[in-house]
Every structure is written in C-alpha cells, then in structure tokens.
Amino acid sequence: MAAINTMEKKLAEYKCDTNEAICMKLVRFPEDVEDDSTTFHPEFSHQVYGDDEVAFGYKGLQIQLFYTAGNLSTLFKVKYSSKVTETFDCVEPDDIEGKIREIIPAGFTCNSDDFISLLEKEANFQPFGTLLHTYTVHSEDAGDLTYQIHKVDVNCAGFHDYHKRLQTFLMWFIETASFIDADDDRWDFFLVFEKYNKDGETLYATVGYMTVYNYYVYPDKTRPRVSQMLILPPFQGEGHGAQLLEAVHRFYCSLPKVQDITAEDPSESYVKLRDYVLVKLCQGLPSFTADKLPLGFSADMAKEAQDKLKINKKHARRVYEILRLRATDMSDEDKARAYRLEVKKRLFGPYRKNQREMAKMKKCLRPEELLSHVDQMDTQTQHEELEKSYQVVVEDYRRIIERIATHA
C-alpha cells in the first residue's frame, strides 16, 4: 500500500492545470514574444482538456498560443521540463498537441523565428468589411486610442480563413462555445479593431467581435439574434463591449425589415451590458420622460421602443424599470414602495404560474402526491425569494445608472 501511495504522489507531480499552462499573446512587436507582461491565460479549458482542466504527463508544461495582433497568424508550441515516460515506462502522457490541433486551423507555425518574421506582414493587414463606427478611448499610457467597428459578410475576401483563427478564442473564454458554419450567408459579423502606430505606419489590431444570425419572421421581417460576442482579454474593461453592442443595434435599427433584436442564451454579463446600452438608447425617447415613468409601463413605451429601436416588449420593460429607479426618490417611503411593487409585479410572474399549476394539481393528484409539491410552493418561501430577487435586480440597476452617470 505504501508503495502505491508513493507511486501516486510521484505521478501527481506530472499533472498540470491547463488554464495556467496555456499562455496566450496578441503580438505587435518582436519583443512581445519574450515579455511575460503581455501573456494572458484562458478562463476555461474544459472543452479541450476535460472537466478537470488538467493535463497529465508533463512537468513545467507550457502551451504557447501566440497570435499576431491583426491577422492572427498563429504560433503553437508545447514546452515542458520533463515527461512522465522519462521515469515511468508503462505510463502514457496525454496527447496535448493533438487536442489543440483539433481546434486551430492549418497554417500555424511551430517556430518562433518564423512567427516573428510574420510580424513584418502585419503592415499589409487591413480591417475587413464596411466601417460602421469610429470611437476613441483615453489611455493614461498612450493617450487617445482610436478604434473602428466594421460589419463583414461571409463573402469578404480573406475573411473566411481569418474567422477560423479568430473563433478559436471562443473555446478559452466562453464556457459553452461552439464553432459556427460561417458559409451560411444569414450570418453577419461585426469586428472591432484598434489603430496603432509602428515605425511610422498605421496598423490594426483585432480587439473583439460579434456574430449575429438573421432569422426569418413571417411574413416579411427578420429577427437578428446575437450568437457570440467576445472582447479579447487585453482589451476587456475598456468599454469596447458597449461600443460594439450599441453600433450593432444602431445598424439593425436602420433596416426596415428588422422586427427586433434578440440574443441566444445570453449570459448574465451580456444581459447587464444590454441593459446599459438599451437604457442609453431609450432615455431620450418621448414616452420614457421622467414625468411619465411614475405612471407605469405603458403601451406607448413598448411601441416606441419597438418602432424606433427594434427593442421587444420584455427588454423595454427592463429599461423602464431602470429609468424609473433613476427618477425615483427612494428616500420617500411612498415612492419607494410604489416602485418596489411595480418591479415585484413583474418578478412575481413565475410564482403566479406556480400557483396556477398548484390549482391544476389539486384537481388531479392524490393527497400524498400533492403533499410532495406543497413545500416547493410555500407562500412564505415565495415572498422571501421574491424579496431576494428584487434586491438583486435593484442592485444591478443601480450599477447601470452609476455607469451611465459616469459616462454622461
């Protein structure tokens, strides 16, 4: 038994956390390759290396996935200090390289010198598609930096191969990501680029992107649905997501055949971002003025948001709640109570549904079967959960209001 435990401890030394082992870079200058400060790591690696996010068989494992900043030409290298087969004859290491090769497209290099030589070609890289929007972000180190948002379709020359490289980032930063069939012409792509200077030339770095699928709505409309959205880690927290989502929203608002704009299985962070952008867009609409907000969510609000901004009723309702909170003096007990009841009325929807289901159950279930469902729908528990939900919602709304005030 002691010998087995000793063996297990020795083998455990050959386990590596793949989130730490994978080292990624967006490289602009040759010196970036050796500069650890430009390295970032995945948030997730379970889609490639399993739920444990562990690779076995190596000590000091480092998986390098370096990309040129614009064209995303790729360096893929695996380095380690020792391999389990050097000590144990009958133990096989995991196929680290094979798993990566399954997701990165052909055309990558495994040689650092060849990769650095590819940086010279970055001057030839130009953003794909049509320019939609230009904006600046102030940086303490670099001053005002200029960014561009472009709309691209699948037939744009060179884009197909570029997109194959770009979408590999999804595997590391979106928990349930999957690659899309980019040949389907119902896909729209929106890309963000940073303009930067290198040796007197203007170059472009990839910042992030969004994919949108255009669904048909009877009889003659379309419903664009956001499928994927990612701002690459070195650019996160700088407001690019909001700029991208607002530019995309404004683009579809300009198309008469668009019914409304939705998102596929949106994450919590995306919902918060969408709330922020939609509030910015709606706050100037006549039906959302401060004097009308205390009167409740109206058909005029829903219609104006739909007609002018392609916002569906559900999203318009959230916008109304945020704007009403901003316009409400919550230190006034009566006004605060009126607001709280208005929000809880919406939040109570699922509980009301449960009550209807309970009424149906009473008609068709035996007493002992009914008893098993009663605890799930206890009235006191419902009130407690409703209050918790309300507090979470209001806290999220306050953050959005603060962000809008900061960027006003």
- Hey, which residues are catalytic here? 264
CA dihedral (348, 351, 355, 361) in degrees, to 10, reads: 160
Q: Across 126-219, where does the E strand assignment appear?
A: 130-139, 143-152, 187-198, 201-217
For the record, the structure tokens of 23 come out as 């080292």
SS3 of the chain: helix, strand, coil, percent, to 5: 50, 25, 30
CB within 8 Å of 177: residues ≥ 6 apart: 47, 170, 171, 228
* Rounded distance between C-alpha atoms, residue 390 and residue 406, angstroms: 24
* Rounded distance between C-alpha atoms, residue 140 and residue 347, angstroms: 43
* Rounded distance between C-alpha atoms, residue 380 and residue 244, angstroms: 43
Query: What's at 273, amino acid-wise?
Result: L
**Residue 93 DSSP label:** P
Nearest-5° Cα angle at 179, 173 to 181: 150
